[in-house]
Amino acid sequence: MEELKKVEEFLNTVRNFYKAKGYTEVITPYLLPYPNLDENIEPVPCKVQDISGNFRRFFLHTSPEYSMKKLLASYRCDIFQICHVFRNFEGGKLHDVEFLMLEYYKVGKDYTYLMNELEDLIKTLFGREIIYRGQRIKTDFERISLEEAFKRFLNLNLRLESKEAFEKELKKANIPFEPYEDLQTLFFRAYIELEKYLGFERPTVIYGYPEGFGALAKCKNGICERFELYMFGIELANGYTEINDPSEVERRISLTARRLNLPIDRSFIEIHKNLPKLYSGVSIGLDRLMAIKFGLNSIWELYYRQIKRKLE
């Protein structure tokens, strides 16, 4: 019972935090006729049979983003949701096909506001200090641009003007790669190396991603208003100032749709005509955050230990 109460208390703290700040909790469908379109995230397809016996292809959502933005276009208020999401080709101590996500959207503020709000949440959940597997860090955030992080931790210049230029940087940093790999793959090779150094002195926010790696974040002069949060080398959150331009949204998700051979939700593009002029959003992996809070080695210990205690 103690294990169940810990999880309940954690989730109640999260809910109360956002409700106290004026957010409204929402629910949206998990099973959708169109997939989320995001680089390096593979949706889980499902074959569904209707009452007439006809089969249709649906998708389990990889995040509640599309459905929540449709709500936001109608109601234009701060909203949050805690739900399970599903992603293909995932596995390991900190990854699984199904996991628990917190996603929320703030109207009238950019991503810098959400960095500060996220820091307040971490302090509410952990207090002044985070202790995880014998390591201790303060809960005050450190904010580093991606360009600065590459230089500090990998001695690598973030030069993405050409594949050849970035290959030279990888060679200097002794990061292995294959000559046939494209620029996107090369970037993520370097980024995976960078993650190993983040969040060991303080929770670390990395911000300012190159255009092409900004998902649906607003970009200016080739840099996108996107951030990620790390603790102990673990990615916990991803946020950005959101695009509200339908043509730019269509351009970006069309690239992903072609690469993955997936259909596009045209209604998702259309609702961007009605979204707030300025708003921002964040998604947080709650399984990972609870693993740190409870000192677990993997996200699945969170569930296995509860079941195991009951069986003993």
- Say whether 142 sits in a helix, a strand or coil: strand
Categorize the per-residue pLDDT at 237 as very low, low, confident or very high, splitting at 50, 70 and 90. very high
More confident residue, 164 or 64: 64
CB 216 within 8 A of CB 252: yes
Structure tokens at 288: 């990972």
- Say whether 127 sits in a helix, a strand or coil: coil
**Residues whose CB is less than 8 angstroms from the CB of residue 216 and which lie 6 or more positions away in sequence, other chains included:** 240, 242, 243, 249, 252, 253
Answer whether residue 304 shows pLDDT above 70: no
CATH code for the structural domain at 2-141+202-311: 3.30.930.10
Q: What is the mean pLDDT of residues 30-34?
A: 96
Question: For the chain, what are the domain ranges?
Answer: 2-141+202-311
Helix H or strand E encompassing 117: helix 111-126
Exposure b/e, 52-68, CB count within 10 A at least 16 = b: eeeeeebbbbbbbbbbb
Answer whether residue 62 shows pLDDT above 80: yes
Question: What does the alpha-carbon distance between residue 221 and residue 267 come to, in Å, rounded to a whole number?
Answer: 29
Other CB atoms within a 10 A radius of the CB of residue 188 amount to 14
Q: What is the mean pLDDT of residues 197-223?
A: 94
Q: What is the mean pLDDT of residues 29-51?
A: 92
| Burial class of 275 by CB neighbour count within 10 A (0 to 12, 13 to 18, 19+) | buried
Largest CA distance in the chain: 62
| Burial class of 17 by CB neighbour count within 10 A (0 to 12, 13 to 18, 19+) | middle
Q: Work out the angle between the directed axes of helices 301-311 and 2-20 (0-180°, nearest 10).
A: 140
Q: What is the mean pLDDT of residues 122-141?
A: 96
**Among the listed residues 282, 286, 285, the one whose alpha carbon sits nearest the alpha carbon of residue 117:** 282
| pLDDT-above-90 percentage for the chain | 73
Question: What does the alpha-carbon distance between residue 77 and residue 9 come to, in Å, rounded to a whole number?
Answer: 26
Q: In this structure, which long-range contacts are made by residues 245-251, counting pairs with CB atoms below 8 Å and at least 24 apart in sequence?
A: 245/272, 246/270, 246/272, 246/273, 249/216
